[in-house]
């Protein structure tokens, strides 16, 4: 099992090859969550996530012969980029096996860092099998994303930084995927200050660590899609489960909409870009899923590698959930001036029209009438209620489209 000494040695070994990322207090999120919140911004690492810490520590421990044969890993994103980037910096040949379904932006980034990308398989399991085949064929060293003690020790260096950056730290909330991140941080923090609470967060659709801790052994969950794809791991590691059972005080889960809302709030209020996995800790705190109240708490933003188009979808969904974008369907007499009259109602309450669509043959519209779908930008739920009241006062029948 990984020890505090392993983590401290990893920190010395890595030196300044990884960034000591900021960990500043957020007044806004402290007010929103009922805790004193500090954000540890691992999304500001060169490759956009904490993964490069563990990958680097593993490679620094390789013998000259192992370096000469090269390294290989299987990953669809952050681990791939971490291995590629630091292998190139160290002059080590690397192969990165990525599924055929991996986002092109992540494939391009991994290749851009200098690694040789091999795309194989339709999912991670198939890519993993191909990576092991290449490892055996070419004698390369396989770098696991989380189930490796050197990788875990590298991730644990975050815990040492947190204790220095936040004097009087009382709790840390950490995303859980395979368990390497929370295992390493938990060990570092608890061995130095056992009073600090370590809380893990998983997507509710794939709570692999929570199930494993409950069962007392690793279990494999059915496949599930989550916007926190970086931690959507079906089975935790054999090396990480004992660490979680020893050092983690609490494991909670968050829903997809909670994660999307956290991504949006981090972007708007904190000016911080977080991927789904990187926002899960914040989501748990915002939704009061943890037992923490009034604690000096670090929320770990573990990564920020999110596709721009996907981010735009999340922003739109978040705005809808917050009531800042609303769609209303009105049925009215189809005659000149009706559109002008309705838009006048919206103008009167200062609701901005994003789009409008007329239908005369669908939605059960009566002959001689028209259905109008208005997508409106508002200030929030209270403003939406004001808009609805104004429509009622003007004599329009309508329904809210959800």
Q: For the segment 86-142, what is each residue's pLDDT rounded down to a tens digit?
A: 999 999 999 999 999 887 878 999 999 999 999 999 888 899 999 999 999 999 999
Q: How far is CA 217 from the centre of its chain?
A: 26
Q: Which two tokens stand for residue 390?
A: 């104004």
Nearest to 183 by CA among 162, 161, 154: 154
Please report the pLDDT score of residue 361 as a whole number: 61
As a whole number of angstroms, the distance between CA 155 and CA 18 comes to 11
Please report the pLDDT score of residue 105 as a whole number: 78
Residues 6+ positions from 364 with CB-CB distance below 8 Å: none
Residues 6+ positions from 392 with CB-CB distance below 8 Å: none
Mean pLDDT of the chain: 94
Report in angstroms the alpha-carbon separations of 201 from 140, 223, 255: 34, 18, 11
Which positions of the chain have pLDDT values less than 50?
Answer: none
Nearest to 303 by CA among 174, 183, 199: 174
Please report the pLDDT score of residue 369 as a whole number: 76
Tell the residue number behind the tokens 């020890």, with chain if given: 3
pTM above 0.85, yes or no: yes
Please report the pLDDT score of residue 364 as a whole number: 65
pLDDT 10s digits, 355-365: 998 776 666 66
As a whole number of angstroms, the distance between CA 315 and CA 322 comes to 10
As a whole number of angstroms, the distance between CA 314 and CA 280 comes to 14
- Residue 304 is given by DSSP the state -
As a whole number of angstroms, the distance between CA 370 and CA 335 comes to 9
Residues in the chain: 402
Q: Which two tokens stand for residue 64?
A: 């000259």
Assign 89 to helix, strand or coil: helix
DSSP string across 335-389? STTHHHHHHHHHHHTTPEEEEEEEESSSTTPPTTEEEEEEEEE-SSHHHHHHHHH
Full set of structural domains in the chain with CATH: 4-48+149-318 (3.40.50.1100), 51-142 (3.40.50.1100), 324-401 (3.30.70.260)
Residue 327 phi, psi dihedral angles, 5° rounding: -115, 125
Tell the residue number behind the tokens 């004698």, with chain if given: 139
């Amino acid at each position: 099992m990984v020890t505090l000494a392993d983590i401290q040695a990893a920190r010395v070994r890595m030196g300044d090859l990884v960034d000591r990322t900021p960990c500043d207090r957020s007044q806004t999120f402290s007010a929103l969550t009922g805790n004193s919140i500090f954000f540890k911004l691992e999304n500001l690492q060169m490759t956009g996530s904490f993964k490069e810490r563990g990958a680097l520590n593993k490679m620094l421990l390789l013998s000259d012969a192992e370096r000469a044969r090269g390294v290989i890993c299987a990953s669809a994103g952050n681990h791939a980029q971490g291995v590629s980037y630091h292998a190139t910096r160290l002059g080590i040949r690397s192969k990165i096996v990525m599924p055929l379904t991996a986002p092109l932006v992540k494939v391009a980034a991994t290749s851009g860092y200098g690694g040789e990308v091999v795309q194989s398989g339709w999912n991670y399991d198939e890519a993993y099998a191909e990576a092991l085949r290449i490892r055996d064929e070419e004698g390369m060293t396989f770098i696991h994303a989380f189930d490796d003690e050197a990788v875990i020790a590298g991730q644990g260096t975050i815990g040492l930084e947190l204790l220095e950056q936040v004097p009087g730290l009382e709790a840390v909330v950490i995303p859980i995927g395979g368990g390497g991140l929370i295992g390493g941080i938990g060990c570092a923090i608890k061995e130095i200050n056992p009073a600090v609470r370590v809380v893990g967060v998983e997507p509710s659709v794939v709570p692999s660590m929570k199930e494993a801790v409950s069962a007392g052994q690793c279990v494999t969950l059915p496949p599930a899609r989550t916007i926190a794809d970086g931690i959507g791991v079906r089975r935790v590691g054999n090396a990480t489960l004992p660490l979680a059972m020893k050092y983690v005080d609490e494991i909670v889960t968050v829903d997809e909409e909670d994660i999307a809302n956290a991504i949006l709030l981090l972007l708007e209020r904190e000016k911080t870009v977080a991927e789904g996995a990187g926002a899960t800790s914040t989501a748990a705190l915002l939704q009061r899923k943890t037992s923490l109240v009034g604690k000096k708490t670090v929320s770990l933003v573990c990564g920020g590698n999110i596709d721009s188009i996907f981010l735009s979808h999340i922003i739109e969904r978040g705005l809808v959930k917050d009531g800042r974008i609303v769609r209303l369907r009105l049925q009215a007499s189809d005659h000149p001036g009706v559109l002008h009259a309705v838009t006048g109602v919206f103008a009167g309450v200062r609701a901005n029209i994003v789009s409008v669509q007329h239908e005369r043959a669908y939605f059960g519209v009566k002959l001689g009438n028209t259905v109008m779908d208005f997508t409106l930008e508002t200030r929030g739920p209270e403003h939406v209620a004001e808009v609805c009241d104004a429509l009622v006062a003007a004599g329009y029948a309508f329904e809210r489209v959800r």
